[in-house]
């Protein structure tokens, strides 16, 4: 079930009152990517909510939207791995029941650690257990840390739990590390760090039917988030509401073979088109594209025949990967 989302302190406080002040286990973080390190924090929160000192509790993820980096560096390009909606959906799969997405603005940035604790954790969310990473900082100029949060918890009635960062080959798992791997197209690493494939979400829209003319009709997807991956061909899975999971091959790029092509496209060719009485139609549907392998980079071809021959090879390579999966 998708978690309930609050975007104001008033909404969160009203929800707490409607539950007769039932306490909460709050896990705090930006959760961009909801990677294995984030999952460790959530797992700890779920355990405390079910069997801790104050159980039963609601499991709430407290995050910021937009990301604080956007506030301090508004011109930064290509940053978030996930949209807020994706983040909320994914947090729900790991046991989070509610998400409080605090708008990060001047008011939040200027709060002292204690002001933040009173407004966000105590008044709005009825905190009983608070779970953070061991490097957690908060409040004006990041002046608060785990030690000060622990002391404030004693003062305001909640326990603080600082969880060690998840180490991976001598380096901590982080959203920054995942962004770097995505930009390099290192999908094996991304999948391992996130614990699941990198996914783009969006709506299938009408394109110029170029793929259909070449014998490879594609689902042109208007994606909802920034695309961190480099241009090229990928082995993917297309998740659809109507047809379930479909084996696929996805192209990201500006189609350099055709001079009139403009902009960056995300186009997916389905390998195993389901045979239905109504026919196969994805237009206007919302889909998810899960990325498994980067097959090659983008390139221009001297003719349509040369392009089709390469597409034949790309599709066969994607098909072989899918056939090799358990």
Instruction: Encode the chain (326 residues) as per-residue pLDDT tens digits.
Output: 899 999 999 999 999 988 877 899 999 999 999 999 999 999 999 999 999 999 999 999 999 998 898 888 888 776 799 999 999 999 999 999 999 999 999 999 999 999 999 999 999 999 999 999 999 999 999 999 999 999 999 999 999 999 999 989 889 999 999 999 999 999 999 999 999 999 999 999 987 766 666 668 899 999 999 899 999 999 999 999 999 999 999 999 988 777 655 678 999 999 999 887 778 899 999 999 999 999 999 999 988 899 999 999 999 999 999 999 98
User: Would you call 308 helix, strand, or coil by DSSP?
Assistant: helix
Taken in order of first residue, the domains within the chain and their CATH numbers are 4-172 (3.40.50.620), 199-323 (2.40.30.30)
Cα separation, 14 vs 231, whole angstroms: 46
With b for 16 or more beta-carbon neighbours within 10 A and e for fewer, the 70-102 pattern comes to eeeeeeeeebbbbbbebbbbbbbebbbbbbbbb
154 near 122, Cβ under 8 Å?
no
Residue whose entry in the numeric block shows the structure tokens 């002292």? 112
Using alpha carbons, select from 221, 219, 235 the residue that is nearest to residue 185: 235
- What residue ranges in 3-122 does DSSP mark as E strands? 4-6, 24-28, 58-64, 98-102
Q: What is the pLDDT of residue 277?
A: 73
What pTM, to 2 d.p., does this model score? 0.93
| Cβ contacts of 224 within 8 Å, gap of 6 or more | 83, 85, 86, 200, 201, 202
Q: What is the pLDDT of residue 99?
A: 98
Q: What is the pLDDT of residues 264-285, one digit of tens each?
A: 899 999 999 988 777 889 999 9
| Geometric angle at alpha carbon 184, from 181 and 190, rounded to 5° | 30
Pairing assessment for the beta strands 167-168 and 171-172 based on DSSP bridges:
antiparallel
Using alpha carbons, select from 199, 177, 234, 210 the residue that is nearest to residue 36: 177
Neighbours of 57 (CB within 10 A): 23
Q: What is the pLDDT of residue 239?
A: 98
Q: What is the pLDDT of residue 209?
A: 64
Q: What is the pLDDT of residue 77?
A: 73
Using alpha carbons, select from 234, 213, 258 the residue that is nearest to residue 221: 234
Give me 110's structure tokens: 């200027």
131 near 41, Cβ under 8 Å?
yes
Q: What is the pLDDT of residue 71?
A: 87
Q: What is the pLDDT of residues 125-136, one digit of tens each?
A: 999 999 999 999
Q: What is the pLDDT of residue 175?
A: 95
């Amino acid at each position: 079930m998708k978690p309930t989302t609050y975007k104001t302190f008033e909404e969160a406080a009203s929800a707490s009152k409607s539950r007769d002040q039932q306490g909460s286990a709050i896990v705090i973080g930006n959760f961009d990517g909801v990677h294995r390190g984030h999952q460790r924090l959530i797992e700890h929160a779920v355990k405390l909510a079910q069997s801790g000192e104050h159980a039963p509790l609601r499991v709430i993820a407290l995050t910021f939207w937009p990301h604080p980096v956007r506030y301090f560096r508004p011109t930064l390009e290509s940053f978030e791995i996930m949209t807020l909606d994706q983040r909320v959906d994914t947090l729900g799969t790991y046991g989070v029941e509610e998400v409080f997405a605090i708008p990060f603005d001047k008011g939040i940035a200027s709060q002292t650690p204690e002001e933040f604790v009173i407004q966000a954790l105590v008044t709005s969310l009825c905190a009983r257990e608070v779970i953070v990473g061991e490097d957690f900082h908060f409040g004006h100029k990041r002046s608060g840390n785990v030690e000060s949060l622990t002391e404030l918890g004693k003062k305001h009635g909640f326990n603080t739990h600082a969880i060690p960062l998840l180490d991976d080959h001598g380096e901590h798992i982080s959203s920054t590390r995942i962004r770097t791997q995505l930009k390099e197209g290192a999908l094996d690493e991304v999948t391992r760090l996130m614990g699941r494939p990198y996914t783009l979400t969006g709506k299938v829209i009408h394109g110029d039917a170029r793929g259909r003319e070449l014998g490879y009709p594609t689902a042109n997807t208007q994606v909802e988030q920034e695309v961190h991956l480099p241009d090229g061909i990928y082995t993917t899975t297309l998740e659809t509401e109507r047809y379930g999971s479909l084996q696929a091959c996805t192209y990201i790029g500006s189609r350099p073979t055709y001079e009139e092509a403009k902009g960056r496209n995300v186009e997916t060719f389905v390998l195993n088109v389901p045979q239905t009485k109504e026919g196969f139609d994805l237009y206007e549907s919302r889909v998810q594209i899960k990325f498994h392998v980067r097959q090659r980079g983008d390139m221009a071809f001297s003719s349509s025949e040369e392009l089709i021959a390469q597409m034949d090879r790309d599709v066969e390579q994607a098909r072989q990967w899918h056939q090799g999966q358990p």
